Amino acid sequence: MEKEPDKLAVLGAGLMGHGIAQVASQVGNYYVSLLDVNQELVDRGMKMIEGSLGKFVEKGKLTKEQASAALSRVHPTTDLREAVKGSQLVIEAATEDPKLKLDLYKRMSELVDVETVVASNTSSISITLLASATKHPEKVCGMHFFNPPQLMPLVEVIVGNKTSKETVAMVREVSERMGKDTVLCKKDSPGFIVNRILVPALNEAVFLVQEGVADPEDIDKAVKLGLNWPMGPLQLLDYVGLDTTLNITQVFMDEFQDSKFRPSPLLREMVRAGLLGRKSGKGFYEWASPGSSKTK
């Protein structure tokens, strides 16, 4: 078993990355380097962490001192070399763009120590493909958190074609230290476990709207009360991001060559119109403001 790390790097300070960094510090007591491509994005990520920690304090789940300590363990940076230095685990949470990720993995592979494990938070891109851009593919696996990472208890651990058992064991240990339950996806298959089931269901809900079968509110109500989902599929789409969901359906189409994964034309149309959900302020619902957790 490799040494459990006390310093992690999270590459990407966006919706998922900032939450992963927060959990690593708040629950796992890790020192975390949080990286993004420019200072504005890093500052925004740190502000989101601060706001989230503040909510935990308001709800009595953290003291002000604990929140302050958690925030102090997260170190923002725009320098990749600085971010990965001394990190025994690097969690990549960059945008779901294969070309962007592959470029990042090539650059990162030149900088990390030979023993460093790299885990991707990708929701759909092949772990084997990402690992192929590194010098040590046996050190690469999937570590898929769910949104929001601060609250969702699951991490999917995905095995690439060359991922070692030691890499998997380390990532599962770290996940558990961060308070998460893990499941193992033994095969590097698009969408892994959860999204393979979920995304076609979300896409089908969009088809129902497109075909005029029911209004979004009734579709969500039906699924919440009839299937006992905590959130309806269209509201969930707004949370996940319509663009992210469209990207995943496209990966499924490319990889499986099966028309059953064909994205709804309405989903494409809404993404083209910039109606991305909560992140843009409007999707199937109108949100109080971009990124808000409350609808109008």
CATH number of the domain to which 252 belongs: 1.10.1040.50
What pLDDT was estimated at residue 4?
A: 56
Q: Which domain holds residue 255?
A: 195-272
Q: Confidence band (pLDDT; 50, 70, 90) for 294? A: confident
**Do 66 and 166 fall within a single domain?**
yes
**Do 41 and 118 fall within a single domain?**
yes
Instruction: Examine the residue annotation and report whether 280 is marked as an active-site residue of this protein.
Output: no
Total domains in the chain come to 2
Answer yes or no: is pLDDT of 147 > 90.
Answer: no
What pLDDT was estimated at residue 96?
A: 83
Across residues 37-54, what is the average pLDDT?
A: 96
For residue 296, tell me if it sits in a domain: no
What are the residues whose beta carbons fall under 8 Å from the beta carbon of 136, sequence distance 6 or more? Answer: 109, 114
**List 144, 175, 203, 280, catalytic entry:** 144
Answer yes or no: is pLDDT of 292 > 90.
Answer: no
**Given 167, 185, 203, which residue is the final one in a domain?**
185
Residues 239-258: pLDDT tens digits?
Answer: 989 998 998 898 899 889 99
**Do 65 and 146 fall within a single domain?**
yes
For residue 221, tell me if it sits in a domain: yes
- Residue-wise DSSP of 122-186: -SSS-HHHHHTTSS-GGGEEEEEE-SSTTT--EEEEE--TT--HHHHHHHHHHHHHTT-EEEEE-
Q: Confidence band (pLDDT; 50, 70, 90) for 277? A: very high
Across residues 211-224, what is the average pLDDT?
A: 98
For residue 215, tell me if it sits in a domain: yes
Instruction: Examine the residue annotation and report whether 286 is marked as an active-site residue of this protein.
Output: no
**List 25, 52, 120, 156, catalytic entry:** 156
For residue 279, tell me if it sits in a domain: no
Answer yes or no: is pLDDT of 135 > 70.
Answer: yes
**Do 180 and 63 fall within a single domain?**
yes
**Do 143 and 251 fall within a single domain?**
no
**Do 158 and 20 fall within a single domain?**
yes
Instruction: Examine the residue annotation and report whether 203 is marked as an active-site residue of this protein.
Output: no
For residue 70, tell me if it sits in a domain: yes
**List 25, 123, 126, 175, catalytic entry:** 123
**List 195, 203, 247, 280, catalytic entry:** 195
Instruction: Examine the residue annotation and report whether 144 is marked as an active-site residue of this protein.
Output: yes
